[in-house]
Amino acid sequence: MAEVLVAALYKFVPLPDFAEMRAPLRAVCEATGSRGTLLLAAEGINGTIAGSPEGVATVLTWLRSDPRLADLEHKESWADSLPFASMKVRLKKEIVTLKRPGVDPRDLVGTYVDPADWNALIQRPDVVLIDTRNDYETELGTFEGAVDPGTASFSELPDWLEAQDLDRSTPVAMFCTGGIRCEKATAYLLQQGFQEVFHLRGGILKYLEETPEEDSLWRNECYVFDQRVTVDHKLARGRYVFCVDCGRGVPRDEVQAHAGRCRHCRPTPSADG
């Protein structure tokens, strides 16, 4: 198959008819041969699709034909084969699950920071840099100096933040893969009384796209939610594969040495060696 375009997208926008959008959206995706997962909720749309450049463009054009999604942004990367097995369009309560009713990025959200300005911000000694992603993502790559909450799901982040007891005047910078989690995380912090909250516009993917590798403060690779597992700084497929037991990322060169298992699933060496 020719090179595959992967498009990640999201938008917080009122979609009271989101359930009715499901069937026609799935139909246009299937008609173009696109695969992936798209989530629809009353608060908007989120997801990733992959396919031929022409097919993905057709889906994006269809979405943007809805006036509410006319300014829908997406981020692009490439794969040498389809990284999804099927096409799913799912109905959800939230397009990213925080489980904190009343947190709405359309009402309150952190200050967007463009990739070109991100390095200067996160190198400030007064800024606390927080990775809002899950532990299985952060262990494969993160920004230099970032705090890892060690959460298993995004909905655990508010409890972790509350436990840190940070001074509300502390400047906080947050980042995630494509930007959507930070929309809600920064909104939550502002609701809690934090005065200076920043987040990376377009997420890690946009930073990798726009930042020269020699200037980058990103370390290792970026976890993505498809069969590529990770992408490198050039947004090409990375060096990780899925653990055969738990599904975490494990370096490809360790597959044979450890029977395809990550460090969490490898047998514990016996005391007698």
State what percent of residues in the chain have pLDDT above 70: 97
Residues 6+ apart with CB under 8 A from 159: none
**Which residues are marked as active site?**
176
Q: Would you state the structure tokens that stand for residue 227, as one six-digit string? A: 């069969």
Where does the pLDDT of residue 263 fall: very low under 50, low under 70, confident under 90, or very high at 90 and above? confident
Tokens 């992936």 belong to 36
CB 10 within 8 A of CB 63: no
- The answer on pLDDT for 69 being more than 60 is yes
User: Among 23-32, 72-81, 231-240, 260-269, which is the least confidently predicted range?
Assistant: 260-269
DSSP state of 214: G
Average pLDDT over residues 127-140: 98
Report the distance separating Cα 245 and Cα 260, nearest Å: 8
Report the distance separating Cα 127 and Cα 170, nearest Å: 7
Rounded alpha-carbon distances, angstroms, from residue 187 to 94, 163, 174, 199, 216: 15, 18, 11, 10, 27
Q: What are the extents of the domains in the chain? A: 4-91, 111-220
- The answer on pLDDT for 2 being more than 80 is no
Q: What is the pLDDT of residues 203-258, one digit of tens each?
A: 999 999 999 999 999 999 999 999 999 999 999 999 999 999 999 999 998 888 88
Q: DSSP assignment of 43-97, as one string? A: TEEEEEEEE-HHHHHHHHHHHHTSGGGTT--EEEEEESS-S-SSEEEEE-S-SS-
- Please give the torsion angle defined by the CA atoms of residues 115, 117, 118 and 120, in that order, rounded to the nearest 10 degrees: 150
Where does the pLDDT of residue 1 fall: very low under 50, low under 70, confident under 90, or very high at 90 and above? very low
Which CATH class name applies to 111-220? Answer: alpha beta
Out of 3.40.50.2300, 3.30.70.100, 3.60.20.10, 3.40.50.10540, the CATH code matching 4-91 is: 3.30.70.100
Q: Which residues pair with 46 in a beta bridge?
A: 10, 39
Where does the pLDDT of residue 94 fall: very low under 50, low under 70, confident under 90, or very high at 90 and above? very high
Tokens 């992408």 belong to 231
b/e sequence 141-165, b meaning 16+ C-beta within 10 Å: bbbeebbebebeebebbbeebeeee
Q: Report pLDDT for 67.
A: 98
Report the distance separating Cα 118 and Cα 124, nearest Å: 10
* C-alpha Rg value of the chain to the nearest Å: 19
Q: Report pLDDT for 272.
A: 52
Q: Would you state the structure tokens that stand for residue 260, as one six-digit string? A: 């395809």
Which stretches of the chain are assigned E, i.e. beta strand?
Answer: 4-12, 35-41, 44-51, 74-79, 87-91, 111-113, 128-131, 141-143, 172-175, 197-200, 218-220, 222-223, 230-231, 240-242, 249-251
Report the distance separating Cα 178 and Cα 161, nearest Å: 21
Where does the pLDDT of residue 270 fall: very low under 50, low under 70, confident under 90, or very high at 90 and above? low
Q: Report pLDDT for 224.
A: 97
Quick check: helix, strand or coil at residue 137? helix
